[in-house]
Amino acid sequence: MAEAPSKIVSVDELVAIRARLRAAGKTVVQCHGCFDIVHPGHIRYLKFAKSLGDVLVVSVSSDRVVDKGEERPYITEELRLENLAVLEFVDHVCLDDNDWAGPILERVQPDVYVKGKEYETKGHPQFARERELVEAYGGRVVFSSGDVIYSSTFILSQFRESFRLERERLAFFCRSKEIDSASLDALIRSFRGRRVLVLGDPVLDEYIHCEALGIASEAPVLSVTPIRKDWYAGAAALIAAQIVELGGRASMLVNLSPGPSTDRFRSIAAQTGIELIDSEDAERPVATKTRYVVEDRKVFKVDNVRPLPSSAGASRTIAGELRTILGDYDGLIVTDFGYGFFTQPLIDVIEDVASATGKPYYLDVSHTRRANILRFRGARIATPTEHELRFAFADNEAGLSHLASRFFRQTGAEHLLLTMGPRGVLLCRRPSSPEKRVATDFLPALESTAVDPVGAGDVFLAGVSLTDLAGGSCEMGAYLGSALAALHVSTLGNRAVDERVLLEYLEHRPELQR
């Protein structure tokens, strides 16, 4: 039996092998599929296929073309190839980067093409094309016995936690993208002095820690006594604070109206090291979000927010300032919470100025129904949640790859990092031409539980943006952003992650060890 690594061949190598086998009069049998989790049903199917000829070849769909959901395939293409190659009755395995079996069947032209019994009566239109192609060159299509039917999808849905594959997937992602603790340490140290301009709504987050007294006598509500208050500058200010914490220099371009909330916001920004470049807009006070906390658990939230469009004069002032100063910065971060700061004229200026100055801009929006990411064009990297992307298209049914393709066509963005909370991040790259599919990678979440998820997307965007500005890869940015988010959600409150805590965390991550 050939060794497993020697069984894994390229498509060109497989075509050459097929020619030699044809000359020798050997019968070649081919199977094709994803083979995500190799289960007993696959084993019976492949054994049956081998019994029909002399040589069994298996073509495996690449990660890029598998369309079974944002977290599928669960096993990477390299491991799926290896899992099949170690089977004694499989002779050759190759990776196929086409979204259906037709092209590789046309090149290999197996004598027998074997499909599962379910395809015999399913009426699958793509399989009908495959069958027509095989029979046209004189091959035959055979259906396996169908005695035992298993599904990788079903197995994963039932036993995912038992497989303990998340760690292996993380390790493979980091290994294949050349991400380790040393490279991340060097990356973070290269953030020193990078200047970033942050454009977005100023928000104050108030946490009121309380002692619970029990149920009130006059109504079935919890009665509490306030003990202390903690204040944080959130939203765009948290992004700026995280940049400063990682060694960068951050300025915020904002509208502020006179008043106590603005005074508090200025004070926190100064303590954090954020430079404020502001114009006055008397109708737009700083948004304040108050959370009542009992025993480190949030029990009630009050949003003191008035979503009002910026005045025409204030918006022109911000746009003019942006035109004047963006050239002095390395990049721009735009975050829209839907409170009215981003008028359409200002949005148009963002794209124009970023393009004219050659400065990349990075984009996120809030999950509020007043912020739509499709309003913004030309971003280098956008980091919405799945919910925000689906809201933008009013589509809760389509696959994420399809939505990503529509997003790239409509906005002209270069990269889309789709954050999915405890599931992880889907990395999408704009295809080089419209007819090509969106290339994707999946990074599992570093943490699956959160003490306080507020601000996770903001620190994620800060990490992604700084990584790109420092010349790091999008994959490295996604990992660093995920690490920041994991640390951020592990504590109550909305403060930036300390750089020393981040470096220590990365030093001990098992998937980063080499």
What is the per-residue pLDDT across 229-255, written as a single tens digit (0 to 9) for each?
999 999 999 999 999 999 999 999 998
117 has a pLDDT exceeding 90 = no
- What pLDDT was estimated at residue 256? 86
Adjacency order of strands within the sheet including 222-235: 222-235, 202-215, 287-294, 297-304
CA atoms of 490 and 65, how far apart (whole Å) = 35
Say if residue 153 is in the same domain as residue 201. Answer: no
Query: Which tokens sit at 93?
Result: 């395995």
- Give me the phi and psi of 217, to 5 degrees please: -75, -30
Choice among 139-143, 148-152, 184-188, 467-471 with the minimum mean pLDDT: 148-152
Domain of 25, CATH number, reads 3.40.50.620
Say if residue 227 is in the same domain as residue 310. Answer: yes
Q: Is there a domain that residue 31 lies in?
A: yes
Choice among 12-16, 160-164, 433-437 with the minimum mean pLDDT: 160-164
Query: Which tokens sit at 310?
Result: 């910026």
- Please report which confidence band the pLDDT of residue 321 belongs to, taking 50, 70 and 90 as the band edges: very high
Domain of 282, CATH number, reads 3.40.1190.20
- What pLDDT was estimated at residue 164? 57
Mean pLDDT of 207-230: 91
Q: Of all residues in the chain, what percent carry a pLDDT higher than 90?
A: 65
- What pLDDT was estimated at residue 7? 93
* Each residue's pLDDT tens digit, 328-343: 999 999 999 989 899 9
Say if residue 188 is in the same domain as residue 136. Answer: no
Say if residue 66 is in the same domain as residue 198. Answer: no
- What pLDDT was estimated at residue 436? 77
Give the DSSP per-residue string, 247-306.
Answer: T-EEEEEEEE-SSHHHHHHHHHHHHHTPEEEEEE-TT-PPEEEEEEEETTEEEEEEEE--
Say if residue 122 is in the same domain as residue 198. Answer: no
Taking CA atoms, 123 is separated from 126, 127, 132, in Å, by: 9, 8, 13
- What pLDDT was estimated at residue 148? 44
Q: Is there a domain that residue 170 lies in?
A: no
CA atoms of 3 and 327, how far apart (whole Å) = 58
Q: Which of 105, 138, 163 is the last residue of a domain?
A: 163
Torsion, Cα 336 419 386 332, to 10 degrees, reads 30
Against a cut of 0.85, is the pTM above it?
no
> Facing residues of 200 across strands?
335
Q: Is there a domain that residue 169 lies in?
A: no
CA atoms of 74 and 169, how far apart (whole Å) = 8
- What pLDDT was estimated at residue 443? 93
Give the strand pairing for 439-444 and 424-429: antiparallel
Say if residue 129 is in the same domain as residue 201. Answer: no
- Please report which confidence band the pLDDT of residue 423 belongs to, taking 50, 70 and 90 as the band edges: confident
Say if residue 271 is in the same domain as residue 385. Answer: yes
Say if residue 132 is in the same domain as residue 187. Answer: no
Mean pLDDT of 260-279: 93
Q: Is there a domain that residue 313 lies in?
A: yes
Choice among 3-12, 277-286, 293-302, 498-507 with the minimum mean pLDDT: 277-286
* Each residue's pLDDT tens digit, 2-51: 666 689 999 999 999 999 999 999 999 999 998 887 777 788 889 999 99
Q: Is there a domain that residue 351 lies in?
A: yes
Q: Is there a domain that residue 66 lies in?
A: yes
Torsion, Cα 355 356 358 364, to 10 degrees, reads -40
CA atoms of 97 and 88, how far apart (whole Å) = 25
> Which among 293, 222, 235, 288 is positioned nearest to 261, based on CA atoms?
288
- Residue 431 · residue 437 · CB < 8 Å: yes
Domain range for 335 is 175-512
- Please report which confidence band the pLDDT of residue 456 belongs to, taking 50, 70 and 90 as the band edges: very high
* Each residue's pLDDT tens digit, 52-82: 999 999 999 988 777 544 455 777 788 889 9
Q: How many domains does the structure of the chain reveal? A: 2
Say if residue 312 is in the same domain as residue 442. Answer: yes
Q: Which of 104, 135, 163 is the last residue of a domain?
A: 163
Say if residue 470 is in the same domain as residue 502. Answer: yes
Query: Which tokens sit at 50?
Result: 């081998």
CA atoms of 425 and 420, how far apart (whole Å) = 6
- 47, containing H or E segment: helix 40-50
Mean pLDDT of 157-171: 63
**Location of structure tokens 């009542």:** 292
Mean pLDDT of 294-298: 91
Say if residue 222 is in the same domain as residue 342. Answer: yes
Q: Is there a domain that residue 168 lies in?
A: no
- What pLDDT was estimated at residue 144? 83
> Which among 441, 397, 434 is positioned nearest to 418, based on CA atoms?
441
- Residue 44 · residue 146 · CB < 8 Å: no
Say if residue 84 is in the same domain as residue 157. Answer: yes
Q: Is there a domain that residue 16 lies in?
A: yes
- What pLDDT was estimated at residue 36? 81
Alpha helices in 302-399 (DSSP H): 312-325, 344-357, 386-393
Please compute, for residue 513, the number of CA atoms within 13 A of its CA located in the half-sphere on the CB side: 6
Q: Which of 141, 163, 185 is the last residue of a domain?
A: 163
Q: Of all residues in the chain, what percent carry a pLDDT higher than 70?
A: 92
> Which among 279, 277, 278, 286 is positioned nearest to 313, based on CA atoms?
279
